Amino acid sequence: MKNVKMLALATATVAAMSSNAFAAEQTGDIHAGDYKWVQFNAMYSVDEHPIAAGADAEHDYLEMEFGGRSGFVDLYGYVDVFNLANTDSGDKTNNASKIFMKFAPRFSIDAITGKDLSFGPVKEVYFSTLYNWGGGGTTGTYEANTEDFSQSLRNAYTKGDVNMSFWGVGADVEVPWLGRTGMNLYGTYDINAKEWNGYQFSANWFKPFKFFDNGSFVSFQGYIDWQFAMDEKASGTNIDGKYNNTDNGGALFLGLYWHSDRFALGYGAKYYNNVYGLNDRAFSNQFWDGLNTTGWGHYVAATYKF
């Protein structure tokens, strides 16, 4: 399972978000501010939640990340390929799904209607969507609490791919010091269950704050995803008699990254709190302690920009 990632923009993209938008306003051409960017990230994660009890919660992955603007369409997305060498260590083993994809197209209501809907710190308004596909479940092995040695190792996993969609409204908001910050409020539709289940608030930012003479810079970038008003009874109870689900949960990512024209290096810390609306010890039974869904995770990345 994968969670929502930071909006890591290249240097040219940062400039495009300001100067190109101004050009579009002056000419009346909604394509005057068009831009696009693509980068590949070699990633390694430690303690990405949820963590199956007894599992080694580490894995490598390659990520193709992309985004841009074309007319009234603002797009961000990425495709992850896990466990590139197909090793036996980490939590992406035991025939776990290799691919996860996220696409987040937003449609500018300002550009579609030809009206300036900005007010105060709100600079542009969108109809926002988000799609999560693939990724499989959490996998690994754990020690069963049983005297039968033949049953002492069991696979810990949740079946099936993630298939979620999010629909709502968004805005680019000018935040003190952080600058232009993307904010979205979605209704959540579970494509697998074919039903609506709660809401999600998301915000992401990219703030260059330290510049060097060679043109490189250090940025503070991150995001917050918070789900709420979910059905906590959706997945039944664990061995403790508590619901596997809770009605709210999410994650906060805080990253520091060095950027040049072609490369980036960075570290990010992510705090999970009942991530994906799952309680700690979700799905625990007499043989297994369930999922750990609250705590810190760590990510390192090396990037090449196209």
User: Hey, which residues does 188 pair with through a beta bridge?
Assistant: 166
User: Hey, which residues does 173 pair with through a beta bridge?
Assistant: 122, 181
pLDDT higher than threshold 70 for residue 30: yes
Q: Which residue has the higher pLDDT, 21 or 293?
A: 293
Q: State residue 25's pLDDT score.
A: 53
Spell out the residues 6+ positions from residue 230 whose beta carbon is closer than 8 angstroms to its own. 188, 197, 198, 245, 246, 247, 248, 249, 277
Half-sphere exposure of 10 (CA within 13 A, CB side): 19
Segment 47-84, tens digit of pLDDT: 999 988 888 888 899 999 999 999 999 999 999 999 88
Phi, psi of 191 (to 5 degrees): -70, -35
Secondary element (H or E) of residue 276: none
Q: Other CB atoms closer than 10 Å to residue 265's CB: what's the count?
A: 13
Segment 109-168, tens digit of pLDDT: 999 999 999 999 999 999 999 999 987 654 444 444 444 433 434 444 455 677 899 999
Q: State residue 297's pLDDT score.
A: 97
Q: State residue 159's pLDDT score.
A: 55
Least confident of 33-37, 135-139, 286-290: 135-139
Let me know: does 203 contact 186? Beta carbons within 8 Å: no
How many helices (H) and strands (E) would you count in the chain?
Answer: 3, 16
Q: What is the mean pLDDT of the chain?
A: 85
Within the chain, residue ranges assigned H as helices are 11-15, 21-27, 109-113
How many residues are recorded in the chain?
Answer: 306
Q: Other CB atoms closer than 10 Å to residue 141's CB: what's the count?
A: 18
Take residue 248 and report the two structure tokens written for it.
């709210």
Question: Which contacts (CB < 8 Å, 24+ apart) does range 214-218 have?
Answer: 214/260, 215/11, 215/260, 215/261, 216/258, 216/259, 216/260, 217/11, 217/258, 217/259, 218/256, 218/257, 218/258, 218/259
Average pLDDT rounded to a whole number, residues 239-260: 96
pLDDT higher than threshold 50 for residue 19: no
Let me know: does 299 contact 290? Beta carbons within 8 Å: no
Rounded Cα distance, 59 and 63, in Å = 13
